[in-house]
Amino acid sequence: MRKSMQMQNDLAAELGTAVFDVTLDAEDGAPLGNEREHAQMIAELASSSLNQHGRVGARVHPVQHDAFSQDLEIMLGSAGDKLAYIMVPKPESLVDVASACDAIDKTSRALGLQRQIPVHALIETHGALRDVFAICAHPRIESVSFGLMDFVSEHRGAVPSQAMGVQGQFAHPLVMRAKLEIAAAAHASGKTPSHCVVTEFKDRLALSEAARKACQELGYTRMWSIHPDQIRTIVDAFAPHADEIQIAGEILLAAQAANWAPVRHKTRGHETLHDRASYRYFWQILERAHQTGRLQDVTVHTEFFA
C-alpha cells in the first residue's frame, strides 16, 4: 500500500498530475481476525503525508459482513476528510448498494463530516450484474468496477479457471457479456467504468494488450492493477495517442474561434467536417490527455484548462 501511494506521488511529480488512484483494501487484504487493526492501518495511511493528492480511497467489507460497520466507523472517523471514495464489494443487488450508501451517509453525519463521500461499487455477483443499470443510475455511485475472479467463482466451476487469465477473460462469452453490460450501464448514467485486473503481473506485453482492448474495444475508461509494477503500463495504454491529442486540440481551437459553429479540418490527409456532436468527443480526448499528463500544447492548456 505504501509502495502504491509513493508511486502515485512519483508519477504525479513526473507528469504534473495524479494519474491513478490508490484503493486501500480492507476486504481481501485483511487477515481473518485482524479486521479492526487492518482498518486502522488504512485510516492511518489515508491520513498520512503520503496522501498528497487526495486520490486515495478504501475498499471496505461487503455490506452483509460483520466488519462493514466497523470499517466505516474507523475509516470515516479517522480519515473521512481524506478518503477520495469508499468502494463497496460484492453487492447482491441494487438493494445492497442503496443500503451501503445509506450506511456511509448515516455514519458520516453521525461523525460530523461536512462532505458526501463518493461511493464505488464492485460488480462481481449475478444479482449485481442483473441490476447494473439501476446501480449505475443510483445518485451516490461515482464508478463501477468489474470483479473478474469473484464473478468467475460465482459460476461454481461452470466457467473454467482460464477465464480468469489474460487471454481467457477476453474469450469466454459469459465474462465478455458481463464486461460489456457494465461498460454500457456506466456510460448510460455518466459514471466511470473500471476494467478488471490482469493477474499475470510480470507479463507486460499481455497486460498492455489487455488494457488496449479494455479501453478501445470495450469502452472502459479506467483499469485496475493487481500490483504496482502494472501501473505505468496501464496508464500508458489508457492515455490518448499524441496525434489524437493534436487533432483534438486543433479542432476545438478552430471551433472556439468559430463560436462553436461547424468547422473544416484536414485530418490525416482528408478534409473533414465537424460540429458540436464531434466536439464532445474531441473534448473528452483532451480531458483524458490532461488527466494522464499528456497534454503538452501550451495554447490548448491555457485555453481550456488554465
Residue 52 sits in a domain whose CATH number is 3.20.20.60
- Which residue pairs from 98-106 have beta carbons closer than 8 angstroms and sit at least 24 positions apart in sequence? 98/138, 99/63, 100/63, 100/68, 101/138, 101/140, 101/141, 103/63, 103/68, 103/69, 103/72, 104/72, 104/76, 104/140, 105/140
Task: Note whether 63 and 90 are same-domain residues.
Answer: yes
pLDDT at 214: 97
Task: Note whether 110 and 139 are same-domain residues.
Answer: yes
Count of structural domains, the chain: 2
pLDDT-based confidence at residue 29 (cuts at 50, 70, 90): confident
* Residue 84: half-sphere exposure toward Cβ, Cα within 13 Å: 16
Q: Is the pLDDT of residue 30 over 90?
A: no
pLDDT-based confidence at residue 189 (cuts at 50, 70, 90): very high
pLDDT at 219: 96
Q: Is the pLDDT of residue 89 over 90?
A: yes
Residues 56-69, mean pLDDT to the nearest whole number? 97
Task: Note whether 127 and 254 are same-domain residues.
Answer: no
Q: What is the pLDDT of residues 190-213, one digit of tens each?
A: 999 999 999 888 899 999 999 999
Other beta carbons less than 10 A from residue 296's beta carbon: 12
Q: Is the pLDDT of residue 57 over 90?
A: yes
Other beta carbons less than 10 A from residue 27's beta carbon: 21
Residues 266-295, mean pLDDT to the nearest whole number? 92
Range of the domain at 9: 2-238
Task: Note whether 193 and 258 are same-domain residues.
Answer: no
CA distance 130 to 146: 13
Q: Is the pLDDT of residue 174 over 90?
A: yes
> Which residues are CB-neighbours of 270 under 8 A, at least 6 positions away?
none
Alpha-carbon torsion (56, 282, 180, 118), positive or negative: positive
**Residue in this structure with the C-alpha cell 467463482, named with its chain if needed:** 153
CA distance 113 to 104: 11
| Helices within the chain (DSSP H only) | 2-15, 35-47, 68-79, 94-110, 126-130, 132-137, 148-153, 173-188, 204-216, 231-238, 242-257, 276-291, 298-304
Q: Could you say which of 215, 238, 261 is where a domain stops? A: 238
- Pairing label, strands 263-267, 141-146: unpaired
Task: Note whether 137 and 270 are same-domain residues.
Answer: no
Q: CB–CB of 223/195 below 8 Å?
A: yes
Q: Could you say which of 216, 238, 260 is where a domain stops? A: 238
Task: Note whether 226 and 268 are same-domain residues.
Answer: no
Interaxial angle between packed helices 2-15 and 231-238, expressed in degrees from 0 to 180 and rounded to the nearest 10: 40
Amino acid residing at 103: A
Q: Could you say which of 200, 215, 238 is where a domain stops? A: 238
Task: Note whether 149 and 202 are same-domain residues.
Answer: yes
pLDDT at 24: 97
Average pLDDT value over all residues in the chain: 95
pLDDT-based confidence at residue 287 (cuts at 50, 70, 90): very high
> Which residues are CB-neighbours of 41 under 8 A, at least 6 positions away?
none
Q: CB–CB of 141/135 below 8 Å?
A: yes
Looking at per-residue pLDDT, the higher value among 276 and 31 belongs to 276
Q: Is the pLDDT of residue 269 over 90?
A: no
Q: CB–CB of 274/255 below 8 Å?
A: yes
At residue 144, the 3 state secondary structure works out as strand
Task: Note whether 17 and 120 are same-domain residues.
Answer: yes
Burial class (CB in 10 A: 0-12, 13-18, 19+), 154: middle
Cα 95 from chain centre:
22
pLDDT at 83: 97
Q: What is the pLDDT of residues 101-154, one digit of tens each?
A: 999 999 999 999 999 999 999 999 999 999 999 999 999 999 999 999 999 999
Q: Is the pLDDT of residue 267 over 90?
A: no
pLDDT-based confidence at residue 292 (cuts at 50, 70, 90): confident
Task: Note whether 19 and 102 are same-domain residues.
Answer: yes
Task: Note whether 164 and 209 are same-domain residues.
Answer: yes
Task: Note whether 141 and 123 are same-domain residues.
Answer: yes
DSSP class of residue 92 equals: -
Task: Note whether 149 and 286 are same-domain residues.
Answer: no
Residues 76-98, mean pLDDT to the nearest whole number? 97
Q: What is the pLDDT of residues 142-166, one digit of tens each?
A: 999 999 999 999 999 999 999 999 9
Q: Is the pLDDT of residue 79 over 90?
A: yes
pTM of this structure = 0.91
Q: What are the beta bridge partners of residue 23?
A: 57
pLDDT at 123: 98
